[in-house]
Structure 1
Amino acid sequence: MSIGLLNTALSGLAAFQRSLETTSNNISNVNTEGYSRQRAELSTRPEQFLGGNFVGTGVSVANIARSYDQFITGQVRSSNSAFGEVDTYHSLAAQIDSIIAADSTSLAPSMKAFFDAVHEVADDPSSIPARQVMLSEAESLAQTFSTMNGRFEQIRDQVNVGLGGMVSDLNSYAKEIAELNNKIVADIGRAKGGQLPNQLLDQRDMLLNDMAKLVDVSVVNQKDGSISVFIGKGQPLVLSDYAAVLSVQSSDSDPTHKEIFMNGQNISNQLSGGSLYGSLRFRDEVLDPAQQQLGLLATGMAVEFNRVHQAGYDLEGSAGARFFDLGSPEIPVVAKVADPTATLTATFATSASGLKASDYQLTISAVGPPPAYTLTRLSDNTNVTAPADGFNLALSGTLTVGDSFLIRPAYDAAKNIKLAITDPKQIAAAQGRVDGPPVSGLPGDNRNALALAQLENASLMFNGTATFSDAYGQIVSKVGTQTRNAQVSRSAQDTLLKQATSSWESVSGVNLDEEAANLIKFQQSYQAAAQAISVANTLFDSLIGAVR
């Protein structure tokens, strides 16, 4: 009897000691990020049939389990991914918004100052100081275009550096998860009764959370305890102990345009969620369109101002020259051809009305003569004809079916625009006589200067529906709306993330009040088991004394 009592008490002593150790471990890790509260699961030992009765034999520790809810943990990962996307998108979009909307960096004051100077020349066409002010304001306007474009390029570099860093982190996380898969499978195989390596499981969940902040992930649990991790539209990043490698590569046509590759395949368009996708979405939805539209505005002002300026005469009696220069070549073209002699030259039409904020892809479908090709506007993947979109094309050299050319009418215009004349006398303010042959160099003739000044309020952009100021206002309005929408989404996702985190804390987090209560409970249980041992010892001594 005393032997059975002793064994039963000893089992309780061991079980409550393990419970105390588990509680102490919980308290020690109360501030450890990602730690899941653990509990000792107790079970009764098999009963013995003695004297016609089933007699209990004590307690054993069946398992040290962590408090874990698969659904809530998945919800936290999903919320981390959604918040990471909108948070990154908003922070980057806000930078563009501050550049184009702030008075100190906005283009609107420079345009207004330039046209005010044009009006001054129209009021006094023979004034050299007024002409010099006009040139100075034109120079300042071109510089503002270039400065703003430069700020856009800085943000592009920031995005590209960020993409590289995030891809490096994803590769590191994937490798660590694959290594943890190996360890977890080995530990589960070594343990008996289905015990799990809780610390390794917590580490793996933490890595999954970190990964979800960068890109949306799908997790599939395997029977052996390992997991498979998929990103995007089912691209396998981790399969058991295998980890794929992501890389950042430049596009063939633009070294500043980065794409995400996995095993040699471009998966940029298949990703979703997380800061990585937020950066890509910002670049495609905000940065690229804003830079294209800024370039379109610079192109429109240069083309239309040059058209009117070249129709007039300067103070020296010469026909008006180009006022703005958009660089050489006027429209950049990136060729991907079989024969290096194959070339494409693109030039702006005389009117900016048909210009679009887009790049174009020309692909040769037949060599001719004349050659046949398809011209695709990449902003909406629509096949178009060149003159309709405000520029003309000329092919030459040995063409091959499949040759392609990337045409960028507006993309670099804000960076390249410069003042083409330096002498104030070269400003073509005069129009000449209305009757008979034109006579240039009339000091009081301001008719061409008036025509130049009228460009400020003329609807010359977007097929004759917008002035230059309207065009810039549309950029400001669109970016502002995108930034505001992103801010609203960020606030909503932040709330959802906090709710998901709170749910996880309620299930898996360590509650010090609860652990303190458990400490007292298990301490008293331990003391009671020790007292039972003392009683068993006394009974045993009595029994020994009785038989001596």
Structure 2
Amino acid sequence: MSMGILGTALSGLTAFQRSLETTSNNIANANTDGYSRQRVELATRPEQFNGAGYMGNGVEVANITRSYDQFITNQVRTSAATFNDVNSFYKLSAQIDNITADNATGLAPALKSFFNAVDDVSNDPTSIAARQVMLTQAESLTQQFNTMNQRFGNLRTQVNTNLASAVDEVNGYAKAIAELNVKIVADIGRSTGKQLPNELLDQRDQLLTKIAEKVDVSYVAQSDGSINVFIGKGQSLVLGNYAAELSLQGDALNADQKQLVLNGQDVSNQISGGSIYGNLRFRDQVLDPAQQQLGLLATGIATEFNNIHRNGYDLSGPPAATGVDFFELGAPSVQVKGPPGNNAGAVASFVPPTSAANLGASYKLEVISTAPDLFTLTNLSDNTAYTPLSATDLSDPAPAVAAANGFNISFSGTLAIGNSFTISPSFNAAANIKLNSAITNPKQIAAASAADLPGDNSNALKLAELETKTSMLGSKASFTQVYGQLVADVGSQTHAASVSRDAQDTLLKQATSAKENISGVNLDEEAANLIKFQNSYQAAAKAVSVANAMFDTLIGAFR
């Protein structure tokens, strides 16, 4: 009987020692990110039969489990992906909103000051001082265009930097998960699947959450304890002990337009969630349209102003000079984008348009026939379509359709029906616009409509009327309205992103709180467990002492 008491007491000592060790481990990891509270599961040892019946045989540690809820953990992961998406989108959008809407950095004040100077020249065309102010304001306006375009370019560089950093992090996390898969499979095999390596599982779950902060992620558990990890619409990132590698590559038509590549495939349009998606979404939905609209405005102002100025006469005579442009656009590079399925490449170049009335910020060119090649060109600003067009219509100088819209385009490779290209002729026009270098003297401003009439201001009046004239977007918008549309579009998207970010922040906090309630370490609870297990250990030790005393009594009876 004494041996039975000793055996059960010793089993209790071992069980409660493990419980104390586990509680101590919980306390030590109370502030460890991703750690799930562990608990010792105790089970009675198989009882033994004797003449008096079945006698208990003590306790054993059945398992050490972690407090874990897969549904809530997945909810945290999903909320983290959504929040980091809208948070990245909002932070970047707020920067471009500050650039366009601010009175100090925006274009509206410079545009107003320039046309005020034009008004002054039209009021007094013989005033050299007024003419000089007009030239100064023109330079200020073009510099503001240049500066805004440069800041847009800086944001594009920031997006590419953010993407590169996030891709490197995801690759590191994926490799770590693959390594953990190997360890977890080995540890589960060592215990024949009865016990789980809790801390390794916590580390793997934490890595999945970190990937979710960069890009939406899902996984499929395997029977051996490993997991296969997928991003986007099922693109495999980790398969067992193999980790694929994400990379960034420049678009075949535009090196600055980075694509997300996985297993040799462009997955930029397949992913969602996380800061990577937020950066891509900002670039495609806010930055590109804003830069296209800014370039469209620069092209429109230069085109319409030059058309009038070129027909006027200056004060440099006699004889008075005419036929001089006021602004220069140079040869800005044209942005061309094509989906991954295109079989052909394309090269486009800028052509100074003859009018700004029907210019669009961007165009979609689609192949509708081959042999011969025929195309449909759609102005995405007003959905005006030109069809069918031949290759000649796209490559010849004005008045060919493409040239009239600010570009010409040629192709390489084999075109196929359904191939499409998005073309933004004025994408970089704001970077190049400047006062015509041929105008070096305020007398060269063509304010008159006839030669050798110094007091004639009729041409200057036409220039001044451009401020309010609806000369763009199908003759429905003025320069100020075109810029106002840019500011409004950016502002509305930024505001919507702000509202969405606040909502997603609340949902993420709620999901994280729910996970902490299940998996987090409560120090008060662990302190109580310490006392409980300590008392249990002391009681088991007392039973050992009783067994020892009974054994001593039994031995003493035979002395």
Q: Cα 1:187–1:333, aligned 2, differ >3 Å: closer, same or farther?
A: closer
Runs of 4+ in 1 over 3 A off after TM superposition: 331-340, 342-346, 359-368, 371-390, 392-396, 398-401, 403-408
Q: Cα 1:425–1:262, aligned 2, differ >3 Å: closer, same or farther?
A: same
What's the offset of the Cα at 1:39? 0.5
Q: Where does residue 321 of structure 1 map in the other structure? A: 324
SS in structure 1 at match of 2:456: coil
Counterpart-to-counterpart distance in 2, 1:467 and 1:144: 19
What's the offset of the Cα at 1:348? 3.9
Counterpart-to-counterpart distance in 2, 1:339 and 1:18: 68
Counterpart-to-counterpart distance in 2, 1:194 and 1:381: 64
Counterpart-to-counterpart distance in 2, 1:307 and 1:382: 24
CA-to-partner distance for each residue in 1:144-197, whole Å, 9 max, x for gaps?
Answer: 000000000001000001111111111111111011000000000012461111
SS in structure 2 at match of 1:256: strand
TM-score (norm 1): 0.92
Counterpart-to-counterpart distance in 2, 1:8 and 1:226: 38
CA contact (8 A) 1:253 1:406 kept: no
SS in structure 2 at match of 1:257: strand
| 1:84-123 to 2 correspondences below 5 Å | 84-123=84-123
CA contact (8 A) 1:178 1:240 kept: yes
Q: Cα 1:243–1:325, aligned 2, differ >3 Å: closer, same or farther?
A: same
What's the offset of the Cα at 1:540? 1.1
| Residues 343-352 or 275-284, more deviating | 343-352
SS in structure 1 at match of 2:554: helix
CA contact (8 A) 2:351 2:403 kept: no
Give the aligned residue type for 1:351: S
Give 1:409's match in structure 2, choosing from 409, 425, 428. Answer: 425
Give 1:531's match in structure 2, choosing from 525, 542, 553. Answer: 542
Counterpart-to-counterpart distance in 2, 1:108 and 1:175: 50
What's the offset of the Cα at 1:394? 6.2
Q: Cα 1:394–1:214, aligned 2, differ >3 Å: closer, same or farther?
A: closer
| 1:175-214 to 2 correspondences below 5 Å | 175-192=175-192, 194-214=194-214
SS in structure 2 at match of 1:261: strand
Question: In the alignment, is residue 546 of structure 1 matched against residue 557 of structure 2?
Answer: yes
Counterpart-to-counterpart distance in 1, 2:248 and 2:222: 30
Give 1:441's match in structure 2, choosing from 437, 443, 452. Answer: 452
Question: In the alignment, is residue 490 of structure 1 matched against residue 493 of structure 2?
Answer: no
Counterpart-to-counterpart distance in 2, 1:380 and 1:352: 13
Counterpart-to-counterpart distance in 2, 1:13 and 1:335: 72
SS in structure 2 at match of 1:104: coil
CA-to-partner distance for each residue in 1:301-353, whole Å, 9 max, x for gaps?
Answer: 11111111112111131224111111036x7487999999x987653443211
Question: In the alignment, is residue 352 of structure 1 matched against residue 364 of structure 2?
Answer: no
Q: Which runs of 5+ in 2 are unaligned?
A: 388-399
TM-score (norm 2): 0.90
Q: Cα 1:210–1:195, aligned 2, differ >3 Å: closer, same or farther?
A: same
Q: Where does residue 431 of structure 1 map in the other structure? A: 449
Q: Cα 1:188–1:382, aligned 2, differ >3 Å: closer, same or farther?
A: farther
Q: Where does residue 436 of structure 1 map in the other structure? A: none
Counterpart-to-counterpart distance in 2, 1:5 and 1:344: 92
What's the offset of the Cα at 1:383? 5.6
Give the aligned residue type for 2:449: Q
What's the offset of the Cα at 1:127? 1.2
Q: Where does residue 132 of structure 2 map in the other structure? A: 132
Counterpart-to-counterpart distance in 2, 1:541 and 1:399: 100
Counterpart-to-counterpart distance in 2, 1:541 and 1:124: 124
What's the offset of the Cα at 1:390? 5.0
Q: Cα 1:482–1:284, aligned 2, differ >3 Å: closer, same or farther?
A: same
Give the aligned residue type for 2:405: F
CA contact (8 A) 1:349 1:387 kept: no
Question: In the alignment, is residue 520 of structure 1 matched against residue 531 of structure 2?
Answer: yes
Counterpart-to-counterpart distance in 2, 1:239 and 1:343: 40
Q: Where does residue 461 of structure 1 map in the other structure? A: 472
SS in structure 2 at match of 1:236: strand
What's the offset of the Cα at 1:376? 5.4
What's the offset of the Cα at 1:131? 0.9
Q: Which runs of 5+ in 1 are unaligned?
A: 433-439
Give the aligned residue type for 2:386: V
Counterpart-to-counterpart distance in 1, 2:366 and 2:71: 50
Give the aligned residue type for 2:327: F
CA-to-partner distance for each residue in 1:464-491, whole Å, 9 max, x for gaps?
Answer: 2211111111111111111111011100
Percent of aligned pairs sharing the same letter:
61
Question: In the alignment, is residue 391 of structure 1 matched against residue 405 of structure 2?
Answer: yes
CA contact (8 A) 2:360 2:405 kept: no
Matched positions, count: 536
| 1:377-388 to 2 correspondences below 5 Å | 384=386, 387=401
Counterpart-to-counterpart distance in 2, 1:382 and 1:239: 48
Q: Where does residue 396 of structure 2 map in the other structure? A: none
CA contact (8 A) 2:377 2:386 kept: yes
CA contact (8 A) 2:254 2:337 kept: no
CA contact (8 A) 2:331 2:350 kept: no
Q: Cα 1:271–1:378, aligned 2, differ >3 Å: closer, same or farther?
A: farther
CA-to-partner distance for each residue in 1:66-89, whole Å, 9 max, x for gaps?
Answer: 111111111111111011101100
Counterpart-to-counterpart distance in 2, 1:169 and 1:393: 40
Give the aligned residue type for 1:15: A
Counterpart-to-counterpart distance in 1, 2:462 and 2:31: 72
